[in-house]
A and B are shown apart, each in its own frame.
Chain A
Amino acid sequence: MNWGSWLFGFAGKATARGILLFALLGFVSPAWAALGDNSASVQADSARMNGALRSTSNARYTIQEIRTSNGQTVREFVSPGGSVFGVAWDGPTTPDLQQLLGSYFEQFRQASEQRQHPPRGPLAIETPTLVVQQSGHLRAFRGRAYLPTALPSGVQSSEIQ
């Protein structure tokens, strides 16, 4: 018997929901990072972005898709082991990269600083351990970030979109 059904049997449906929700919130609330983090952070991202969450799976990974009311879509790619190895986004503006990149944000920030400006063009950060790409304009941005060394076996980077 798993914990969920034990709780349902023991405490009744409504209370069990409350307990499960409480447990879930307690579990995820300290974390709001994503890339490289465990899948619980997807829930945190969803809550922080105030968005609706949709999950689709195939044999090699799960895509957790978050849609917000102002048209932002974020797709987080979760390995069978439960870690987030890629994030893709599109929407009218840029997403909160500090939230989505989590512990990789500082690496991104430093690489971003070293880019040459001008002229104006797409964003392309490519390091052996982190890739961040973005193009578009206000009203229509699209981009992605992934960990090249953390892709589950058989997964191509082109699938992160």
Chain B
Amino acid sequence: MKRVDVGKWLLLSLVLAVLALLAACGSSSPTVTSVSVACTPNTITSGGTSQCGAVVGGSGNIKQTVVWSSNQGSISSSGLFTAPMVTSQQRPVITAVSSQNSAQSGTYQITVNPTGPSITSVSVSCSPSVLQSAQTSQCSAMVNGIGNFDNAVTWSVSSGSISGSGVLTAPIVPTNTQVTATATSVQDNTKSAFTTLNISPAGTVSSVTVSCALSTIQSNQDSQCTATVGGTGSFSPAVTWAASPGTTTPSGLYVAPTVSTSTAVPVTATSVQNSAQAGSATVTVNPVAAGNNVVPVTVDAGPTNSYVNGAFASATICVPGTATCQTIDHLLVDTGSAGVRLLASGAAGGELGLALPQKLAPDGNPLNECFPLADGFVWGPVAQADVMLDGEQASTLAVQVIGQAGESSVPGTCSNGTTDLSALSALGANGILGVGLFTQDCGTACTQAPTNVYYSCPSGAACHPITLATTSQVLNPVPFLPGDNNGVLLQLPAVTPPGATTLSGTLFLGIGTQANNGVGSAAAYTTDSNGNFLVTYNGTNYPGSISSGLNANNLLNSTTVPQLPACTGNFSQYYCPASTQSISATNVGINNASSPITFGVDNAMDLFTTNPTFAVFPTLAGPSTAVPQAFDWGLPFFYGRNVFTAIERANTPLGPGPFWAY
């Protein structure tokens, strides 16, 4: 560094100060009007330098000093720009701001190339750019770059196909359609370009024929229809569907309405390319015959040969609209929940082997459910199925498939430390037939904030809880039957204690809709919106319910009922009184209807030990465990009673649901 003479500096400072004073007082005050910038050289490579200079224009006694800055790289106070390290071409902007008037500045754009070969741009053209269905167009890409760059591109197209050499084959379209062809640099996939082609229909549509998988169905059932379009040349096979009465989906699934007489319904497909061409097939929709509402029920030890007090029924499950069906036995009949849950075959040990179409969450990802039970949960996809109970079908019903191989792993918020019951050994049934009080399993509790019930499961990522509209939730099949859809009657005969090996009964669909499900002298006990009524014991009211899916009467606890001590060890879920106890309680509906119930409770360990082959135990009871204490009637309540379960808001001879009646 050069030594500076202090004397000279003092003199220079004095001169400058005088000049500044003169300028300030005089008529020629400085006015900056422009700053112009240039850098040499204007193209450099990674890490290189370029000297920039600025000329300040204006009038009066202006200064040439500027403040330098740049949006990339760095620049010294004397204007020496140093380029950043780049992997593709960059255009940094150099700015000089007048130190006298910061409102005045000038810029200069410099080009920085990577030191290796790089791509600067890609452009695309296709010839011809206007063509017909199935015709071809040659697309070519121009790749610009620096150094010894790679000019290879990969091709993609929004519809139709394109070869590696850029030969585009137009899709077969029913109407004028735009297609985009894109070329992307292999060396630098951030560099791409596209062009748009216009495709018009070609060929001639001369016929449309329709066939439906099921030509005769019942009210509310569905049939998958397919259209075959004939013609010449590159015609489009696209069709639109229509049927009346009833509805069709864009994929040709016809869903019948409820009919009172046999109705022949034409299901019509019309060519989109030529609306003068249409075809139809007739689907005959018959009303559901009386007596098709009888579902046999068995109380037995179940598929694991270990269940006690489990009521099981069969249902026929079909891929929607097809005759691809499977009958699943030993579904646990549960008046305490809503929804059909089917255990998959394979490792889970269930029976369902059909590939049912999975439903999607609102975000487009697969939809899964974590269905909570008091002592665990079941996990698996929500799918669509036709569910046939005796002669009546709930069509395209949202059901849950549990224990399915290859399914997303169980989220921690779902398992919650409780047991995964999605296997035969834990569930003890091939599924659950939830025919309780409500139409959806979760209802509005799942619509407000994400809960640990419904999950969106993106591919390759963890599932996350979502809110789900009630219409998209897993559904009770009963309200979606063509008739007999206001509830069910579960009828099981009385059993003399200590019990029996098995028991046969019936699940009747509908309440007071046919000769076989009349209400007779039964009274309704209505529930609140959560499905609870009251049970009075010893002058105190407890929340209560009636659930055929509970295998014992689960009532109160030993503090409240001292004559009912809990069993020990693995049987602590049951009561083990010293001798048979007679307990009296009163069911009280929200409608104030009441009836006293007296029932016996035997020592559970004695029952099991003395009767190892029994699956039916009318005097089995256990604590409700939870506090506030509750009084939940289980399957023993049903022995010897006709118990009706009425769906919320459904009309019945006993008034609208939700209620239980007996």
Contacts and interface: CB of A to CB of B under 8 A. Distances in A.
Interface of A: 50, 68-71, 88, 90-94, 96-98, 101, 105, 108-109, 112-113, 115-124, 126, 133-144, 158, 160-161
A135 B624 contact: yes
A121 to B, nearest CB: 5
Interface in B448-488: 448-449, 451-453
Interface in B429-445: 429, 436, 438, 441-443, 445
Which of B306, B443, B570, B625 counts the most chain A CB atoms within 10 A?
A: B625
Interface residues of B, number: 65
Best-buried of A69, A92, A113 by chain B (most CB within 10 Å): A92
Interface in B621-642: 622-628, 630, 632, 634
Contacts of A109: 417
Interface stretch (B79-87, B186-194, B241-249, B368-376): B368-376
Nearest to B451: A93
Contact of B452 (A93, A142, A160): A93
Contact of B427 (A92, A108, A116, A117): A117
A90 to B, nearest CB: 8
Given A93-B442, A93-B453, A119 B372 contact: no
B158 interface: no
A122 B416 contact: no
Given A93-B452, A112-B419, 16 more contacts: A50-B449, A96-B452, A97-B417, A101-B417, A117-B426, A119-B310, A119-B551, A120-B332, A121-B374, A121-B622, A123-B376, A133-B625, A135-B624, A137-B547, A138-B371, A139-B530
Nearest to B450: A70
B234 to A, nearest CB: 53
A121 B421 CA distance: 12
Contacts of B626: 122, 133-136, 142-144
B449 A135 contact: no
Contacts of A119: 306-310, 428, 551
B552 interface: yes
A143 B441 CA distance: 20
B441 A135 contact: no
B462 to A, nearest CB: 16
B573 A122 contact: yes
Interface of B: 302, 304, 306-310, 332, 336-337, 371-376, 412-413, 416-419, 421, 425-429, 436, 438, 441-443, 445-446, 448-449, 451-453, 530-532, 543, 545, 547, 549-552, 554, 559, 570, 572-573, 622-628, 630, 632, 634
A118 B531 contact: no
B623 to A, nearest CB: 7
Given A70-B445, A98-B417, A117-B421, A140 B531 contact: yes
Nearest to A109: B417
Contacts of A137: 336-337, 373-374, 436, 531, 545, 547
A121 B417 contact: no
Given A122-B623, A140-B532, A71 B551 contact: no
Nearest to B527: A140
B427 A68 contact: no
Contact of A121 (B372, B427, B452, B554): B554
14 contacts: A68-B449, A88-B627, A91-B445, A92-B445, A97-B416, A118-B306, A118-B426, A119-B306, A121-B573, A123-B625, A124-B573, A136-B632, A140-B532, A160-B627
A118 B429 contact: yes
A93 B444 CA distance: 11
Contacts of A93: 372, 442, 445-446, 451-453
Contacts of A123: 374-376, 418, 625
Given A92-B442, A117-B375, A140-B531, A126 B416 contact: no
Nearest to B559: A158
Contact of B449 (A69, A105, A122, A143): A69
B449 A121 contact: no
Given A94-B372, A118-B428, A70 B448 contact: yes
Contacts of B445: 70-71, 91-93, 139
In the A-B complex, the 8 residue pairs with the smallest Cβ-Cβ separation, listed nearest first, are A118-B428, A92-B445, A161-B627, A133-B625, A140-B530, A119-B551, A109-B417, A135-B626
A118 B302 contact: yes
A116 B374 contact: no
A161 B332 contact: no
Nearest to B306: A118
Contact of B442 (A69, A105, A138): A138
Contacts of A121: 374-375, 550-552, 554, 573, 622, 634
